Amino acid sequence: MELVEKIERLKKERKAVILAHNYQIPEVQDVADFVGDSLELSIKASQTDAEVIVFCGVHFMAETAKILSPGKTVLLPDKKAGCPMADMITAEQLRALKAEHPGAKVLCYVNTSAEVKAECDLCCTSANAVRMVGEVLKDAEEIIFVPDRYLAAFVAGKTGKTFIVWPGFCPTHAKILPEHIQAARALHPGAVVMVHPECRPEVAALADQVISTGGMSRYAREAAAREIIVGTEPGIIHRLKKENPDKIFHPVSDSVVCPNMKRTSLEKIEVPEETASRARRCIEAMLNVGR
């Protein structure tokens, strides 16, 4: 309690806002001003009038906040909180891929570095990827989609588009296997299954809903289902239980923890303005489209 009071006091003194991703530990979620998915957090970061943004998530999320609010101080609780999927492609690798496909539009998942975003036409999150491809890029003949091959497969299935993909993936979500879904369904007959689009296609094929973490929070609130199997990082279950005390949530497996989302400590992050201004175009194009 003493620590929470200290954080509240510091927040007022520094005119800070605390943004936390849905996978953060319960204590962090509870002290945050806003808890959400990547898209919701980007929108909050672009709209806040706070002077300091404390971003409780992973590096690319804090970096995106800094790109959108270059005048603000963005603090990342732990500089080592990276995203292994974002690290699976470099700007140099993307430039080489673009050189092979000079006419292609380039779409990146928000789980990428600022240097990679600076090479892209448009950015998306798992909440709006289908819309970005189905609406904004509907006339594009060739689309490079990096770095998540599983999200790309999900969007391809929804839009009928094909992509030039990069073989990236989320090591945390890739741990979820079809047998986990089958075992959870056998254990909880009648429960609905929601999984994240970063899951393997053979896992997504077994789910009732394939949605972003923000989508999961909305679905849990609005759906009639009283029992839900959750196929993503289990940090989100704290929020789901808090918002739906009368419903039951089962993690699909206890081993799906993202270690990077569980780190803490404060450190300032900076993005060189030249990279930031190029990366900003593709993030802002996404925010203009919205959800």
In whole angstroms, give the CA distance from residue 118 to residue 284. Answer: 12
User: How are beta strands 143-146 and 164-165 bridged, if at all?
Assistant: parallel
Q: Using CB under 6 A, which of 69, 184, 198, 271 touches ligand 13P?
A: 198
SS3 content of the chain, % helix, strand, coil (to 5): 45, 20, 35
Burial of 208 (0-12, 13-18, 19+ CB in 10 A): middle
Establish if 37 lies at the interface with ligand 13P (CB under 6 A).
yes
In whole angstroms, give the CA distance from residue 42 to residue 27. Answer: 22
- Kindly write out the interface string for residues 211-250 of this chain, putting x where it contacts ligand 13P by CB under 6 A and - elsewhere: -xx-------------------------------------
- In the complex with ligand 13P, the residue whose CB is nearer, 206 or 256, is 256
Look at residue 212 and give the partner it binds from ligand SF4, ligand 13P, none, a contact being a CB closer than 5 to 8 Å depending on partner kind: ligand 13P
In whole angstroms, give the CA distance from residue 291 to residue 107. Answer: 16
Establish if 22 lies at the interface with ligand 13P (CB under 6 A).
yes
Q: How far is the CB of 94 from ligand SF4 (least distance, A)?
A: 18
Establish if 201 lies at the interface with ligand SF4 (CB under 6 A).
no
- In the complex with ligand SF4, the residue whose CB is nearer, 57 or 249, is 57
Q: How far is the CB of 228 from ligand 13P (least distance, A)?
A: 16
Please name which of 22, 17, 29, 115 lies closest in space to residue 64, comparing C-alpha atoms.
Answer: 115
Candidates 77-85, 90-98, 175-183, 271-279 — which segment interacts with ligand SF4 by CB under 6 A? 77-85
Establish if 233 lies at the interface with ligand SF4 (CB under 6 A).
yes
Q: Using CB under 6 A, which of 20, 170, 210, 276 touches ligand SF4?
A: 170
- The C-alpha angle 140, 142, 145, rounded to 5 degrees, equals 100
Look at residue 213 and give the partner it binds from ligand 13P, ligand SF4, none, a contact being a CB closer than 5 to 8 Å depending on partner kind: ligand 13P
Candidates 89-97, 118-126, 246-254, 255-263 — which segment interacts with ligand SF4 by CB under 6 A? 255-263
Q: How far is the CB of 139 from ligand 13P (least distance, A)?
A: 26
Angle between helices 236-243 and 213-222 (to 10 degrees): 20
Q: How far is the CB of 3 from ligand SF4 (least distance, A)?
A: 25
In whole angstroms, give the CA distance from residue 29 to residue 7. Answer: 13
* Two tokens, residue 86: 């974002």
In whole angstroms, give the CA distance from residue 123 to residue 127. Answer: 12
